[in-house]
Amino acid sequence: MFLKSDKELKTGLKGLEFELLVPANNKNIAIKAIKAGADAVYIGYSKYGARVQAGNSLEDLIDIIEFAHQYRVKIYITLNTILKNDELLKIEKLIWHLYNIKTDGIIIQDMGILELNLPPIPIIASTQCHNDSIEKIKFLEKTGFKRVILPRELSIKQIQEIRKQTNIELECFIHGALCVSYSGQCYLSYSIGGRSANRGECAQPCRRKYSLKDANGKYLIRDKYILSLKDLNLSNHIEELIKAGITSFKIEGRLKNETYVVNTTAYYRQVIDNVLSVLNLNRSSQGICTYDFEPDLSKTFNRGYTNFYINEEKNNLSTVDYNSNIGEFIGVVQSVKKNYFSLSNNILNNGDGICFFNENNELSGTNINKTEGNLIYPAEIKGIKQGTKIYRNYNRVFDNTLQNTVAERKIPVSIRIRETKFGYIFFLEDTEGNCAVEIISKTYEPAINKDKAKTTIEVQLSKTGGSIFKVVKIDIKLKNIPFIKVSAINEIRRQLINKLIKIRKKNFKQSIRENPLTITKYPLSELNYKSNIYNDKAEMFYKKRGAFVKERAFESLNNHKGKELMVSKYCLKKQFGICPKQTNIKKYSEPFTLTDEFNKEYLVEFNCKECVMKIINKD
């Protein structure tokens, strides 16, 4: 049980293990993420995940899990879409396969899965479940979920309150792209083109341009990315989150490339390790990570950063003038000639990509052909003027370094050598207490130069090469230092490593769901389409728990007129400085209308009491 008071906080954190959870699109990225320091990886199967483009075969998942478990890294499989009736038996069979290959947990949204015949695999409630209240989270805990993934919109205070009233594991996002809507509550993509976010096919309409006008036709803004949010970055809030009750820190990005994943993983590995060291707390996996690059969040994909609502509400959360990667700020243009411009302190390289805002305040970009000191020759000079701010959104040198980097991860081990009447005994022991033993009964001649012989033994035993181990301590206590050939020492080392790998594999404990799945009353008595009930089993699940299903998922409905397409804590009134809580001047008449690039209109409603914005389908 998590201890609640400040006085008990330090003691209450002891015994907990803290997890850096990293995304992976495929096997290659998963392995690189593990080497870079992930404590856990979430990855999709070829179907049923909230990112259909990020699917993997069962064979690849087997390889990933086997590699991960060497370091006690956990692998969670995303099965967090809503399901059709004819998919339920298939996913039941899949979950048994995932359990048999020692998957550490499945992330789900569809409660119909819990009505299936399931193995005792740990179950995690996806953020798509819209875990927005303490009552829902208590329900999930009582039902038998191991963990709940919290909405990105929560503040530290709200997380603290959840932690005080529950004991379930809490996971939160700390980095990456932000959805403007509460997860699981966005139907805009399906409404526009039939691509359902809850089926893993979101077309990201929030990244398009929109115009906003009031009831009198007066425009607040035209053709801007007003629903496109900046990216999340909570690297400065890790200690606060730990003390609030978070044990799993999640990086978003199953569609991101390997350079993004490696860079962000390495960066947060260092940040989290520093905090854990100060608080004298433990991470959940094993292995010391080293890098031949300096992690830098500004050098990989970002739309600019925000801490969102972690310290209560903020303004200027959207990018407005752009919807894609802006990268790192480089400098201001000093002068412009026919085919080049100058910066006072140029750090750009040949082949870099840059972007800047043109005279229409639109984001433009070009590549760098060559640089000569502070002179930069771009492929296209148009739009670049004196005073233009230059950003680098592709760093060729850094990107190449990350693609070719050797991020190493080694498990610390110690070696002891003792002498008995039967011969010499070599012990290789890891931090878990697993120990491999090699007994050498052969009689060796005493070394003439004892110091040299001892050094040779130490040096050769330390050479663990491409194995997962790193020798951090060698303890030799012998009456007589023997002379052992280098080849013989190397063979002893190989035998010890092979034995320890087998012992660690044998002693690995598979993740098992400890709590049984139970029936407990659901906190809501009536459910509409926003509960995302898409199949008969899901409806049965809620009926058993006392909830009446008024209507099924949005994707099941024939008529979407008047339906809420998005529920958001992000508020356009606040974004444009007309929030009634901030000013007494009313400049615009409601209701507001949102118009997309294709002149399709939506109503915008504001619940100022709860500080929530809703986008309503007019058609």
Decide: 602 and 593 in contact? Cβ < 8 Å: yes
Dist. CA 522–CA 544, nearest whole Å: 9
17-178+235-292 in CATH: which number?
3.20.20.70
User: What mean pLDDT comes out for the span 292-298?
Assistant: 95
Dist. CA 578–CA 572, nearest whole Å: 9
- Say whether pLDDT at 54 is over 70: no
Percent of the chain at pLDDT > 70 equals: 96
Q: Where are the domains of the chain?
A: 17-178+235-292, 313-404, 412-507
Query: Look-up: residue for tokens 């008969």?
Result: 536
As to burial, measured by CB atoms within 10 angstroms (0-12 exposed, 13-18 middle, 19+ buried), residue 318 is buried
Q: What is the pLDDT of residue 591?
A: 92
- Beta-carbon count within 10 A of 339 CB: 12
Q: What is the pLDDT of residue 3?
A: 44
Q: Alpha carbon of 162 to those of 166, 170, 173, 290: distances in Å?
A: 6, 9, 16, 36
**pLDDT tens for each residue of 191-250:** 999 999 999 999 999 999 999 999 999 999 999 999 999 999 999 999 999 999 999 999
**pLDDT tens for each residue of 109-151:** 999 999 999 999 999 999 999 999 999 999 999 999 999 999 9
- Say whether pLDDT at 544 is over 90: yes
- Say whether pLDDT at 4 is over 60: no
Decide: 308 and 292 in contact? Cβ < 8 Å: no
**pLDDT tens for each residue of 256-267:** 999 999 999 999
Which range has the worst mean pLDDT, 333-337, 367-371, 573-577? 573-577
CA 396 to chain centre: 24
- Residue 53's pLDDT band, with cuts at 50, 70 and 90, is low
- Say whether pLDDT at 305 is over 90: yes
Number of H helices, E strands in the chain: 14, 31
- Residue that wins the pLDDT comparison between 139 and 574: 139
User: What mean pLDDT comes out for the span 287-292?
Assistant: 95
Q: What is the pLDDT of residue 2?
A: 46
User: What mean pLDDT comes out for the span 149-165?
Assistant: 97
- Say whether pLDDT at 6 is over 60: no
Decide: 317 and 306 in contact? Cβ < 8 Å: yes
Dist. CA 12–CA 397, nearest whole Å: 45
Strands 328-336 and 612-617: unpaired
- Residue 583's pLDDT band, with cuts at 50, 70 and 90, is low
Decide: 421 and 441 in contact? Cβ < 8 Å: no
- Say whether pLDDT at 502 is over 90: yes
Decide: 411 and 287 in contact? Cβ < 8 Å: yes
Averaged pLDDT of the chain: 94
Class of domain 313-404: mainly beta
User: What mean pLDDT comes out for the span 561-587?
Assistant: 86
Decide: 604 and 548 in contact? Cβ < 8 Å: no
